[in-house]
Amino acid sequence: MIELKLLRTLQALQQTGSLQGAASRLFVTQSALSHQLKDAEQMLGASLFVRKSQPVQFSAQGKLLLDLAATVLPQLDVAWQQLKSGQLPAQQLRLTVECHACVHWLLPALKAFRQQWPQVQLSLETDIQHHAIEAMLRDELDLVLTTDRRLEQQVSYQPLFELELFAFMAPEHRLAAQEFVTAADLAKEKLLVYPIEPERQDLFRHFLQKTPFSGELRQVAQASQMLQLVAAGEGIAVLPGWLAEPFVSQGLIVVKKLGAHGLTRQMYLASQRHQHSLALKALYQQLRLYSPVSVPQTLVV
């Protein structure tokens, strides 16, 4: 085991050029310093420097330890000063969401976390969305909110809450009078969807997976745009239920269950498997605390 005391001794010996000078710098006797170096040499089975050389000449083993000292000791000194002053380096957490509709409940959770952990630089990234897990594995992100579990050998998924997806449509739509909509009902409809491949969308993976789709897909980037198009009669959108309230209360849209039993999905906080920190655990707790509830039954008409 290489001790820090030995690294500091060798560095002092190099800088002062003599045992006497090194002992004076380290506030120990020359005899104690000589014993320390002899004990280290016996343990290593090699000499660390040439005795009675002026200036001190170091062996290959001594030079290796000096290189180590030059790297390690400055880092330790900086860390010690930061610990004493309380000025710790800011930790960074970069979070994004593969579900656009999550933002309205997410922002209060992030605000609460920032108040609790002001030393952590938490940022909500909006440029990387639909392929966020892949970006996280390239170290472009730290955390992802998603319902789409994939690459599980490299990614850890922590469950947050269950969300229910509903079909949003205009009140005058032909399906608006039904109690719920079936896969066959949607198979020939015009659907408003996010710009990602259908095989990654919950609607196609878990509701239409056994039903051939012959309708039309219109890609829309944001949930707010989808809702406006739905209200204008431009198609059906499948979204989390909590987005419904302001539109239902104004009579602009109606919300229908997907199938008689509904379609429920699990929301996860995803991180790389090697990532563990107290800040990450604290953020997870805040996300759980602010997690949305399912859409009130009164909105399903």
Structure confidence by residue, pLDDT tens digits, 25-74: 888 898 888 888 898 888 888 888 888 777 788 889 888 988 888 888 87
Determine the pLDDT at residue 10: 87
Q: Pick the closest to residue 266 from 107, 149, 94, 173 (CA basis).
A: 149
All residue ranges of the chain with pLDDT < 50 are 88, 294-299, 301
Determine the pLDDT at residue 15: 86
Q: Kindly report the average pLDDT of the chain as a whole number.
A: 83
Determine the pLDDT at residue 236: 93
Determine the pLDDT at residue 102: 60
- Give the amino acid at 139: D
Are 109 and 227 in contact by the 8 Å Cβ rule? The answer is no
**What separation in angstroms does the CA of 4 have from each of 8, 18, 271?**
6, 20, 35
Superfamily in which the 163-264 domain is placed by CATH: Periplasmic binding protein-like II (3.40.190.10)
Per-domain residue ranges for the chain? 4-85, 98-157+269-283, 163-264
Determine the pLDDT at residue 103: 64
Determine the pLDDT at residue 293: 60
Query: Residue 142 CA to chain centroid, in angstroms?
Result: 3
How far, in Å, CA of 161 to CA of 163, rounded?
A: 6
Determine the pLDDT at residue 62: 84
How far, in Å, CA of 224 to CA of 170, rounded?
A: 15
Q: How many CA atoms lie within 13 A of 46 on its CB side?
A: 10
CATH architecture of 4-85: Orthogonal Bundle (1.10)
Structure token digits, residue 221 = 């980037």
| CB under 8 A, 24+ apart: contacts of 40-49 | 40/6, 48/10, 49/10, 49/13
What are residue 160's phi and psi, to 5 degrees? -110, -60
Whether the domain at 4-85 and the domain at 163-264 fall into the same CATH topology? no
**What separation in angstroms does the CA of 24 have from each of 9, 18, 28, 41, 169?**
11, 10, 6, 21, 84
- Strand partners of residue 44: none
Q: Pick the closest to residue 257 from 203, 173, 179 (CA basis).
A: 179
